Structure formats: C-alpha cells, structure tokens
Structure 1
Amino acid sequence: MEQPHLESQDESVKPLDRVKVIDLSRLVSGNMLTHVLADLGATVIKVEPPRKGDELRAWQRDGMSTYWLAYSRNKHSVELNLRTPEGMDALRGLLSDADILVENFRPGTLERMGLDKNMLNALNPKLVVVRISGWGQTGCFANKGGFGSLIEAMSGFAAMNGFADLPPVLPPFAMADSVAGIYGAALALAAMHGQRNREQPTIQEIDLSLFEPLFSILGPQAAEYQLTGKTTPRSGSRSPTHAPRNVYRTKDEKWVALSAGMEGTLARLFDGIGYPQGLTDPRFATHEARLKNIDALDALIQGHLTKLSLAEALDFFAVRDITAGPVCDIADLLTHPYILERNLLVEQQAPDGRKVLVHAAPYRINGSRPTIARGAPTLGQDNERWLAATPATPTPGQTQMTTEQI
C-alpha cells in the first residue's frame, strides 16, 4: 500500500518540529502520549534500559513487535543505564534543553532518581513534566500498582460493558492507557504553551492517573445514580439513553449496527420495514416507551433484516437515509473504500525488512496528513546522535540507583 497522498506540503502539518520530548515511560500510556507528539513533528527521544528496552517491544506477533512499530514511529531511541551515575548524567544533559519529560514510574521514583521538582527546576525551568501513574501522585492508592486492566475494572467501565446475564467485560485493547495518553498529549501542549507566555518560567508538573481520564469519559453516571439511586445495568449493544440502537443479524449471517434515536429517522425506518404506524403505536410512540419496550422493538427490526443479505440491508438503509452500517473486522477494513480513499493505512518497514500496515495519523492539517518520517527505532539506534551531541550534566553527590529503585 502506498504512503498517503498529501494534497499539499504545508509545514503546519508538523507544528511541533522544534519541540524536544524525553520519554522515560514504558508500555502504552506514555508511548501513546509521545506517539501523538511525534506524529505532529516533535523530536521524541525514548530513553530505554539496556538490552531489553521498553517492555512494549516484547508484545510480539509472529516474531514482530507490532505494538512497538505502531506507537514508536517517528521516535528516536537512546539506550541508557539509569542505575549508574554516568547514565543519570547523560539523562540530565538531555533534559537540560528539553520541553517535555514523560514518565510513568510509580510515584516517588523520579525523586529517588534525584530528579525531584527543585532539581529539575534548577536544571531547566521551562520543562513540562507529565507524570503518569495508575492512581495519581497522591491519595490512598498512590503506591498501588495500576495496570490498565485494574483501572478498566474499577472505573465503572467493565460494570457497564457486556450483557446483563453475563460477566462484566474488560476491553480487548489498552483502553485506559490510550485515553490517558491522548489526554496527556493535550495537557502537555497546554502546559508548554503556558510556559512560553510566562516571563519567568518555572517547572510545570502534570499529575495524570490512568483512572481519572477513563472515569471522566463514562458519562453522567454519578449524577444519574444520585438522582435515581440505581446503577445502569449492562445492556449489550443497546443504549440506556435511546432506542433503537443495537446490532442485528442479516440473512447471510453478517451484522449491521443501527442507531435511530431521532424520530425522523425512526419514521423512515418504520415505513421501510412495513410498519408505518410505528410512531402511533403506544409501545413506540415516545422515547420512554421505546426504551421500556425495547425487546418488542428490536424483534420488529430483526424480523425484517433477517430477510435481507448484508448488501441488501445496507442498500435498504442508504436509500432511506437511516444511520446504520456494517460491523467490520480488520479483514473487511483492509479493502474498504473509506479506508482506501482516506489513506488510513500506510506501510512501514520493520527492522527485519518486512513491511507491515500501520494506521496513518488520524487527522489532516490544512489538507495534509503527517507522514512516517522514520520507522520505529531499534534499541539504542540514536545513541551516537544524541549522547555525543548533548554534554552530560553531572550532579555532585549523585548516587548509583539500585535495581529496585527504578
């Protein structure tokens, strides 16, 4: 597959081309954050431990670090042993002129490394430090391990995901980490903008937990519970706020998703399935009635779609301007016209020479989409460039870190 076609070569497609980011994080949250910044043109330097590197490299499929390829493109890799004074001196050198530092150690680790707020402020007062942790830098859970699955369970997400008569369902991808990473990118850029507007910058620390961003996007659960005294039960693919909204099986054993909560859309749907009296039927005449009688409403819609193939169902919805579409998997999407026309997948070369498809930057700026300037780096690929060019910055009395401290 070819690289995305760029309608223009406007330099604003890389608005962060003079921003330097030092990434000490591991796994998904920090990598997602710096992935967003790298695609926007920032120079992202991944500082990785010797030999094994970022744990994300170990998430492999068929011998390839697919997650590393997808989320570490456009980045640089520096291999440093931060358990030694020499490694810490080199890190301080990298930080001395950086704009953003990203870390996701347990709270207190940065301080034990000798990179407390006062020291960083003396080293580089314009620095923005994004501190990602499971539960935040303070509170009763601050020192509790915070892997994303725990957050997805405790945030309320799993309790509302799945079907009422089946167990709660965790997401099949790193949802909490990804949401925190995207939040973190916005916060880092906002803090950096604020730094540039200050006459005398002082270090800015962002306390970003995995829990709070995911909790924040789950909707008005607290308000609804406060008002009703009831939690929202799991409802599968149905919505607790409007109906119909579900997935329906077609004659050829495919699936379509339908959301027809607006009455104009619903009127066209009722007319199309041969039930024009739908909006005058007391069971379906009002929003509340439709939610109360959702089983009967879904059965009516399913009864019609059972007679249609997927292609026929999509035509049925299209001619009536009904908001519905197919349930696609990645095999469907590789040849889907929307994906192809929007150039949403591009080829990237892996270190072993194989070419794999990865997602393109999910936006355009002035008609242009950022390209992959460089693939995901091998471990320590950029040591010579950055460590030779950046003088080490020693700190008197710096002690060697133990294995347990990082």
Structure 2
Amino acid sequence: MKSETPLDGITVVDAASLYAGPLSAMILGDFGADVVKVEHPEHGDALRDFGDYPEDLSFKWVNRNKQSVPLDLHEPEAREVFREVVADADVLVENFRPGTLEEWGVGWETLSELNEDLVMVRVTGFGQTGPYSDRPGFGTLVEAMSGYAYSTGQPDGPPTLPPTAMADTVSALHSAYAVMMALYWRDTQGGHGQYIDTAILETMFGVLGDHVVEYDQRGIDHRRSGNRSSRTAPRNTYQTKDDRWVAISGSSPSIADRILRIVGGDDLAEDERFATMEGRLEHVEELDEVIQDWMREHTREEVVEIFEAHEAALGPVNNMADVFDDEHFDARDAIVRVEDGEDDVAMRGVFPKLSETPGRIDHSGPEKGEHAIDVITEHTDRSAEEVRRLARDGVTSLGGDEND
C-alpha cells in the first residue's frame, strides 16, 4: 500500500526552541513525519509565551502536527528517556549551544552509538565550530552580521532588519533539505546516520550570492537602494491615486518596453535615455518620476487592470487583509483553517505542492504534555503510571486532565 505522504514512517524528535529548528521539524511534519516535540515541562518552548499575544499564536503554527513530550534535560531521568526516544528515531533537531548536549551525555557521539542511523540536525547561530560558535545566535543578529541588513533600506536611512523571522525561515528550509539528502544517502546509497551542522549565519549569507562575487570581482559593496535595484530599472514601489501601493519590475527588455508605453506612450518607449537597461539605470530618477506621476492619476485597481491588459509585470503591495481576500491565495490554499480545540485558526498552508503525496496539517501546536504518556510508553519500556510518576517528580509534565 502506497503512503499518503512522502515521509510516512519517519520519526523526528524536535528538541529545539523558537523558530529555526522547530520550523525545520514542522516542514518534515507537514509531509508526514511523526514529530515528537521535546520542551521544558514548566516553561515549554519559548514560542508559547512569545510577543504580546494573549495566547501562544506563534506556537500554534510553528508546532502544528507535533506531539508534545516535555522533558527537563537537566534531570538524569529525563536524559535517559530522551536517549531511549532518540534511539528509536530517524531524525533529531536541536539548537542548544555547542557542547551543551555533550555535557549532559546526550551529544552526537553518544546518540550515534545508540542509533547508527540517526540524522542529527544541529541548528545554531554560528555553527558548531569557529570563533563565534559559543556566542548566542538569533536571527536578528545574523541578519545584521551576514550583510543583509547593511544592504536593505532607504539610501538615506539606517540598515534595516526584516519584520519577520527571515533568517530562521531560510535556515529551516536549508535544514529540511539537508535532512532529505542525509536520509536519501542513508536509505538508498548504503549509508548511515550523520549530523548536519546548520549555521543560521551561513544560510542567511547565502541569500547574498550576487553581492559576494560583485565585491570580489568589481570591488562593489552593495549599498542601500530602497526599493530600487542596481541591476534593473524600472524597479520600485509607487503610490496610486487612492493612497495604495504597487510594485513593478522591468527586468526584461520586453516588459520594460510595455511599462514605458503604458505610462508614457511611444515617445517614452522610444526615448534614447530609456532604450537600454544601462540607460534606464543611469536615468532612473527621471524614469521613476514619470512612472510615479502616471500612478497618481489612477487607483490601484485601475493600475492592476491596465498592466494586466498589457501583460506588464506589476503586483499590488498587499497587506494581510488583501491577502486573506485574494482569490489566488484562496485557490492555492495558501491560507488554511486548522482545528484548534473547540475553534479553528488560520495559518499558512503547506508548500511546495506534490502531485501524488501532498502535505497536510492535522492539528495546531499541541497542549504542553498532551502526548507525553503515549509517546514515552511507545518508545520506551515505561508504563503510563511510571510516566505519571515522572510528571510528579518534575521530569516531564502531562496535558489536560492528566495534570489534575
């Protein structure tokens, strides 16, 4: 019988917190992996108390499809349970500071002896080696240190950080990709387990590939250019008559020509200043002024309709209300409603879309300790009553009525 999802039968232990590590495990869980979420019995994952929300909204989507099994890894009994669960797993994701798990006797050398097929993902800000490896690393820090913030923002403004967990998300995608390569080598090439050293700094630095070769070959240190590009013109955001915004990109000659004809007719399209990309970049101020003047004469809806009619590249600058109301997002299930107790909650959908084994979301992030008894009794020799005793001792915690 064929599996409904591509990772059926793969067990992942997620012993990470916040975004980068848990997002890696979430991606695997979206495509069928059985994900065990290890978190602190008292505090849980930091995402349970993140931001100024009245409830754990971030936790609900980042930890969807997972089973919560709290373990206080400071305690010897908890580490023993952890070793036994990991010994029965395919993948372990962790983001403790380098050396922490080794101090607790549950590092790579120990766990790989227990489970030679284990793929261990070690997610840290700066990697397991190097001068910065002992530093605490968060997405914000590496977004700055990678060079990303330096090149982002308005020319006369400060370096600009993204308003989302961009570095963590990029890192998670790379980690999930690496897991699949490691599993493929293990399962189809006669290989065995291995550990993956994911440095969030390096994955974010990878976004700046063009900047690396430009600096080396041409001595160019990319400077902030707002919404413009050093390679393409026109490329910017423009305000419309109704105080909305649109973005355009004339990265190909045919698209640039269509844009020029829309906003200035044949005269503008045939103006020698704008006939080539080099010319458009040289005269970008004049070009942007012409486009902006035209935009101010039309509402955003009119602009979108005109550009679509001429097959010119343009996108409305959507806020979240726009996204929720967008028929394309709806048709692609980009936003899905997921059962959450007696209610449901909207969250981003599963992507990419596989034709034969698509991913799915079964439930939102679980109650802390909700699955402790089921998972521990399944993966170790302990009985349900022994797990309850561990909870009374603070080694784990149980969800729902079990805590009464």
Q: Distance in 2 between matches of 1:354 and 1:322?
A: 42
Evaluate the alpha carbon distance shift between residue 87 and residue 217 of structure 1 in structure 2; reply closer, same or farther with a 3 A threshold. same
What residue is the counterpart of 2:83 in the other structure?
Answer: 92
What residue is the counterpart of 1:262 in the other structure?
Answer: 252
Q: Once the 2 structures are TM-superposed, how far is the Cα of residue 124 of structure 1 from its aligned partner?
A: 0.4
CA deviation string 1:252-283 (max 9, x = no partner): 11111111121112222222223313344232
Q: Distance in 1 between matches of 2:170 and 2:220?
A: 27
Q: Once the 2 structures are TM-superposed, how far is the Cα of residue 329 of structure 1 from its aligned partner?
A: 0.6
Q: Distance in 2 between matches of 1:357 and 1:258?
A: 30
Q: Distance in 2 between matches of 1:256 and 1:375?
A: 34
Residue 39 of structure 2 aligns to which amino acid in structure 1?
Answer: E
1:48·1:80 contact (CA, 8 Å) conserved in 2? yes
What residue is the counterpart of 2:66 in the other structure?
Answer: 75
Larger deviation: 138-147 or 117-126? Answer: 117-126
Residue 196 of structure 2 aligns to which amino acid in structure 1?
Answer: I
Q: Once the 2 structures are TM-superposed, how far is the Cα of residue 370 of structure 1 from its aligned partner?
A: 2.8
What residue is the counterpart of 1:208 in the other structure?
Answer: 198
Counterpart of 2:109 (choices 118, 139, 162) is 118
Evaluate the alpha carbon distance shift between residue 348 and residue 174 of structure 1 in structure 2; reply closer, same or farther with a 3 A threshold. same
Q: Match of 1:131, SS? A: strand
Q: Once the 2 structures are TM-superposed, how far is the Cα of residue 342 of structure 1 from its aligned partner?
A: 1.7
Q: TM-score, normalised by structure 2?
A: 0.90
1:13·1:366 contact (CA, 8 Å) conserved in 2? no
Residue 276 of structure 1 aligns to which amino acid in structure 2?
Answer: D
Q: Once the 2 structures are TM-superposed, how far is the Cα of residue 215 of structure 1 from its aligned partner?
A: 0.3
Larger deviation: 116-125 or 49-58? Answer: 116-125
Residue 174 of structure 2 aligns to which amino acid in structure 1?
Answer: Y
Residue 53 of structure 1 aligns to which amino acid in structure 2?
Answer: G
The structure showing larger relative contact order (alpha-carbon pairs under 8 Å, at least 6 residues apart) is 1
What residue is the counterpart of 1:136 in the other structure?
Answer: 127
What residue is the counterpart of 1:184 in the other structure?
Answer: 175
What residue is the counterpart of 1:338 in the other structure?
Answer: 328
Q: Once the 2 structures are TM-superposed, how far is the Cα of residue 164 of structure 1 from its aligned partner?
A: 0.8
Q: Match of 1:283, SS? A: helix
Q: Once the 2 structures are TM-superposed, how far is the Cα of residue 364 of structure 1 from its aligned partner?
A: 2.1
Larger deviation: 147-156 or 365-374? Answer: 365-374
Q: Distance in 1 between matches of 2:178 and 2:2?
A: 23
Percentage of pairs with the same residue:
36
CA deviation string 1:12-47 (max 9, x = no partner): 551101000011101000111001000000000011
Residue 107 of structure 1 aligns to which amino acid in structure 2?
Answer: P
Q: TM-score, normalised by structure 1?
A: 0.90
Q: CA RMSD in A?
A: 1.8
Counterpart of 2:295 (choices 296, 305, 317) is 305
Larger deviation: 11-20 or 176-185? Answer: 11-20
Residue 334 of structure 2 aligns to which amino acid in structure 1?
Answer: L
Evaluate the alpha carbon distance shift between residue 61 and residue 341 of structure 1 in structure 2; reply closer, same or farther with a 3 A threshold. farther
Q: Distance in 2 between matches of 1:203 and 1:368?
A: 25
1:244·1:298 contact (CA, 8 Å) conserved in 2? yes
Q: Once the 2 structures are TM-superposed, how far is the Cα of residue 198 of structure 1 from its aligned partner?
A: 5.0
Residue 171 of structure 1 aligns to which amino acid in structure 2?
Answer: P
1:93·1:392 contact (CA, 8 Å) conserved in 2? no
1:90·1:392 contact (CA, 8 Å) conserved in 2? no
Residue 143 of structure 2 aligns to which amino acid in structure 1?
Answer: E
Q: How many residues align?
A: 382
2:149·2:161 contact (CA, 8 Å) conserved in 1? yes
What residue is the counterpart of 1:250 in the other structure?
Answer: 240
Q: Once the 2 structures are TM-superposed, how far is the Cα of residue 101 of structure 1 from its aligned partner?
A: 0.6
Q: Distance in 2 between matches of 1:266 and 1:13?
A: 45
What residue is the counterpart of 1:385 in the other structure?
Answer: 374
What residue is the counterpart of 1:326 in the other structure?
Answer: 316
Q: Match of 1:299, SS? A: helix
What residue is the counterpart of 1:363 in the other structure?
Answer: 352
Residue 298 of structure 2 aligns to which amino acid in structure 1?
Answer: L
Counterpart of 2:266 (choices 250, 270, 276) is 276
What residue is the counterpart of 1:403 in the other structure?
Answer: none
Larger deviation: 12-21 or 68-77? Answer: 12-21
Residue 366 of structure 2 aligns to which amino acid in structure 1?
Answer: P
Q: Distance in 1 between matches of 2:356 and 2:240?
A: 38
Q: Distance in 2 between matches of 1:256 and 1:12?
A: 43
Q: Once the 2 structures are TM-superposed, how far is the Cα of residue 348 of structure 1 from its aligned partner?
A: 2.2
Residue 50 of structure 2 aligns to which amino acid in structure 1?
Answer: W
Residue 38 of structure 2 aligns to which amino acid in structure 1?
Answer: V
Q: Distance in 2 between matches of 1:12 and 1:242?
A: 46
Evaluate the alpha carbon distance shift between residue 338 and residue 118 of structure 1 in structure 2; reply closer, same or farther with a 3 A threshold. same
Q: Distance in 2 between matches of 1:27 and 1:392?
A: 31
- Any unmatched runs of 5+ in structure 2? 383-404
